[in-house]
């Protein structure tokens, strides 16, 4: 199998988490940039990365990179790349683009130039003048950053947050990739209790159950590269069999989700069933004021309301004060809370041990991390 440069894209702030996941998969030859991790891998890595990455958004093939200050340079640089190694004669190859801090700022023009250059290279490869584009999809992206052009092909299709279990959505769903990253940042382990008191349609509890069961998040969906000759069905079959073999049943999980909205709880139950983890999660209707637990050394990981709508802020600030008071009763627990409210710590009544900037959609948030005490060594395997 041929080694190539692959790129796992991600939300800003999650680069280290994606890099850690890739290392777990065995891909340690990495380079981390804002919003992406470039890593070395072969065709099998395309399958495994798409199936296993929990916090990445997409897996791309890096076809080439070069400086381009003019459209002529963009055309010639693109044409020089080995498109014939990737695109079959009947490939459908639309071109997307983006440009940041570059002289070539017109995205439509960059897309058109790249499309023309790829066609010219295809003409040389296949000795024909017209391509019908009726075959498998190879979506190309030209990314201009500080006058450097990066040309990639998307292997994923739909974003990797589309796990396949959430076919119905609530009003303001948390992306699955962010939920998984929040759990991985918290270092929660399946032998510890977990509560999400604002579970909504169930994303955080479901992602926790998938992590606990070592269930590949992409196991229930398909990917664009499944139709490519470079990654034939037997390669995907091997990767999916590996994922099935590594899944494990974890008894006695203590994953709890609650919400005051009975309709979103119905969605949560449906999504948990779709994900195959309904038996691993306890869901109930409950206000945050009633949150309690008989377990010690647990974790609360949650995405409470932010108060983004006009008139909601007083209620949200009251809720944050209430959270601070209620959570005090869980004195051995750790709390991990994402919100866009800049005065959250003051309202919560405690300064976070650590915080990390994350984007929930287009909303800039902080992920506040409040560390509880570690369990005594003689109780590490007996925490209840």
Domain boundaries, the chain: 4-154, 176-215+248-379
Beta strand 255-259 with 95-100 is unpaired
Beta strand 299-302 with 363-370 is unpaired
Average pLDDT score over residue span 23-50: 97
Average pLDDT score over residue span 280-285: 97
Average pLDDT score over residue span 277-283: 96
Are the C-beta atoms of 192 and 383 separated by less than 8 Å? Answer: yes
Average pLDDT score over residue span 341-367: 95
The SS3 call for residue 13 is coil
Q: Do domains 4-154 and 176-215+248-379 have the same CATH topology?
A: no
Are the C-beta atoms of 369 and 352 separated by less than 8 Å? Answer: yes
Over 80: is that where the pLDDT of 344 sits?
Answer: yes
C-alpha separations of 123 from 62, 96, 108, 131, 383 in Å: 22, 21, 23, 9, 65
What's residue 167's pLDDT?
Answer: 75
Q: Confidence class of residue 383 from pLDDT cuts 50, 70 and 90?
A: very low
What's residue 166's pLDDT?
Answer: 82
- How far apart (Å, rounded) are the C-alpha atoms in residues 114 and 99? 13
Within its chain, how far is the Cα of 160 from the centroid?
6
Over 70: is that where the pLDDT of 125 sits?
Answer: yes
Over 90: is that where the pLDDT of 249 sits?
Answer: no
Beta strand 354-360 with 363-370 is antiparallel
Alpha helices in the chain (DSSP H): 15-24, 43-52, 71-79, 107-126, 176-186, 203-212, 233-246, 262-275, 313-327, 344-348
CA gyration radius for the chain? 23
Within its chain, how far is the Cα of 135 from the centroid?
28
- How far apart (Å, rounded) are the C-alpha atoms in residues 238 and 221? 15
The SS3 call for residue 15 is helix
pLDDT in tens, 95-105: 999 999 999 99
pLDDT in tens, 56-83: 999 999 999 999 999 999 999 999 999 9
Q: What is the residue whose two structure tokens read 């949150």?
A: 291
Q: Confidence class of residue 153 from pLDDT cuts 50, 70 and 90?
A: very high
C-alpha separations of 349 from 20, 321, 322, 323 in Å: 33, 7, 10, 9
Are the C-beta atoms of 198 and 300 separated by less than 8 Å? Answer: no
Looking at the domain that runs over 4-154, which CATH code has it been given?
Answer: 3.30.2130.30
Cβ atoms < 10 Å from Cβ of 140: 25
What's residue 381's pLDDT?
Answer: 47
**Which CATH superfamily, name and number, covers 176-215+248-379?**
Vaccinia Virus protein VP39 (3.40.50.150)
Are the C-beta atoms of 343 and 337 separated by less than 8 Å? Answer: no
Average pLDDT score over residue span 155-184: 88
How many alpha carbons lie under 13 Å from residue 303 in its C-beta half-sphere?
A: 24
């Amino acid at each position: 199998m041929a080694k190539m440069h692959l790129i796992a894209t991600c939300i800003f702030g999650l680069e280290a988490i994606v890099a850690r996941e890739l290392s777990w998969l065995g891909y340690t030859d990495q380079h981390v940039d804002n919003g992406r991790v470039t890593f070395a891998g072969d065709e099998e890595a395309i399958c495994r990365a798409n199936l296993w990455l929990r916090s990445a958004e997409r897996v791309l093939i890096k076809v080439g990179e070069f400086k381009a200050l003019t459209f002529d340079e963009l055309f010639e640089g693109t044409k020089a790349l080995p498109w014939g190694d990737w695109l079959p004669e009947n490939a459908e190859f639309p071109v997307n683009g983006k440009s940041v801090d570059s002289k070539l700022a017109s995205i439509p023009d960059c897309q058109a130039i790249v499309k023309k250059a790829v066609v010219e290279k295809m003409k040389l490869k296949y000795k024909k003048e017209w391509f019908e584009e009726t075959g498998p999809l190879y979506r190309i992206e030209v990314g201009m950053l500080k006058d450097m052009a990066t040309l990639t092909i998307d292997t994923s299709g739909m974003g990797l947050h589309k796990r396949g279990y959430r076919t119905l959505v609530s009003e303001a769903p948390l992306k699955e990739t962010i939920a998984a990253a929040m759990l991985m940042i918290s270092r929660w382990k399946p032998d510890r209790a977990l509560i999400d008191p604002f579970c909504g349609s169930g994303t955080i509890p479901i992602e926790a159950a998938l992590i606990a069961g070592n269930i590949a998040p992409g196991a229930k969906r398909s990917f664009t590269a499944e139709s490519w000759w470079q990654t034939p069905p037997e390669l995907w079959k091997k990767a999916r069999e590996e994922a099935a073999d590594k899944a494990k049943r974890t008894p006695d999980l203590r994953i709890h989700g609650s919400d005051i909205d009975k309709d979103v709880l119905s969605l949560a139950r449906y999504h948990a069933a779709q994900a195959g983890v309904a038996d691993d999660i306890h869901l109930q209707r409950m206000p945050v004021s009633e949150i309690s637990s008989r377990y010690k050394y647990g974790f609360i990981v949650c995405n409470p309301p932010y108060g983004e709508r006009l008139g909601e802020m007083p209620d949200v600030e009251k809720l944050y004060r209430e959270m601070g008071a209620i959570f005090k009763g869980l004195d051995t627990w750790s709390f991990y809370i994402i919100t866009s409210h800049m005065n959250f710590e003051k309202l919560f009544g405690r300064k976070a041990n650590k915080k990390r900037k994350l984007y929930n959609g287009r909303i800039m948030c902080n992920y506040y991390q409040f560390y509880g005490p570690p369990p005594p060594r003689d109780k590490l395997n007996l925490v209840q």
